[in-house]
Amino acid sequence: MPKLDQAMEYGTIGAWLKKEGERVEKGEVIVEIYVEKATFGIEAERSGYLRKILHEEGETVKVGEAIAYLADSMDEPIPEEKPAEEKAEVVAPPPEAKPEEKVEIKASPRARKLAQELGIDLSRIKGTGPGGRITEKDVLAYAKQLERERREEYELVPLSHIRRVTARRMAESKRSIPHYYVGVEVDASELVKLRRALIPEVEKIAGIKLGYDDLIIKAVALILREFPILNSSYEEDKVKVFSGVNICAAMAIGDELVTPVIRDADKKKISEIARERSELMKKARERKLGVEDLRGGTFTISNVGAFGVDWLAAVINPPQAAILSVASIRDKPVVEEGRVTVRKMMSMVLSVDHRVADGALACKFLTRLKEILENPYILLRDGI
């Protein structure tokens, strides 16, 4: 199982494109691997025959573990295989069975008769009568319990590959990363005006419609230059601070979430970010995201505003140190100089790895982000 990403620990066999015994040429894709939220074809490192498949489709395998053997011929022995005589095991005769001790069940005659009529095993009932004696009432209560259990209908829905990976990584994140959360409300009135003014300009330059995500990605990328400690990951009592600001833009595709990467977002113009995010969204919808589209993210932004959500404390995407969730923009009453006015407000929550940064720094980061989004024209300094 190849290591396709810095954080990858396991991969899932998607589909074998070759069968055991078939000829394989160097560079030919022989198996598809599910990792993170994409599918990758793995090429043969040399020519030969697919001698043995060790893990079938759907199995999850640890990085570095053998999944199959290539050989020069089908007669070549497999390293794990041993001669039949070495595999033989001496099976000890089973111990002589002891006669079972008969346990007397204390129950009233009426309870025994009712249990027999209902087909109930008295040994499964805990008696409430004197000395633990089973009464008719106990049998009736147990019968009602069985009836309730029979009425409970449910469907076991298998998780998709992406959901399985997400479940494992998010559980790992909550177990291993000490999260804390800082939130702030932003007056997005000027942000709304700027986006409205830039939509036709960006359409001329990039051919796509500008989204709020594009402006927020640009703002966060610029601020991460000022707070590089949040553009990092924790590694064994050290913090790895990344030089490149590579923003993972969380995207909902059906019931699943993918996080493709916009690299060097701090160095790109708004129209460039918009075009790249649009292209990644298209690839995600068509299930065509590749390794490079998902590798190397240093900070994640999850905008849940499209779902009408007012607040979200997101789980950090390991091995990153922080994730920002952005909620919907809503008209809300705000007090300004003693007067109540209606402004377009937006909530943001920053989730941070406490091993990397304390609350004061996170508060400063959010305060600075609030300042820029409330005065967003600074985002135009690099051009559109």
Instruction: Map residue 6 onto helix, strand or coil.
Output: coil
Pairing of strands 299-303, 322-336: parallel
Q: Does 354 qualify as catalytic in the annotation?
A: yes
For residue 24, give the nearest of 65, 57, 67, 72 by alpha carbon: 72
Out of 55, 161, 179, 354, the active site residue is 354
Instruction: Map residue 197 onto helix, strand or coil.
Output: helix
Instruction: Output b/e per residue, 232-254; b: 16+ Cβ within 10 A.
Output: bbbeeeeeeebeebbbbbbbeee
Query: Distance (Å, rounded) from C-alpha 342 to C-alpha 205?
Result: 34
**Residue 182's beta-bridge partner residues?**
350
Tokens of 111: 């309870």
CB atoms within 10 A of CB 207: 11
Query: Distance (Å, rounded) from C-alpha 208 to C-alpha 193?
Result: 18
The residues assigned a catalytic role are: 354
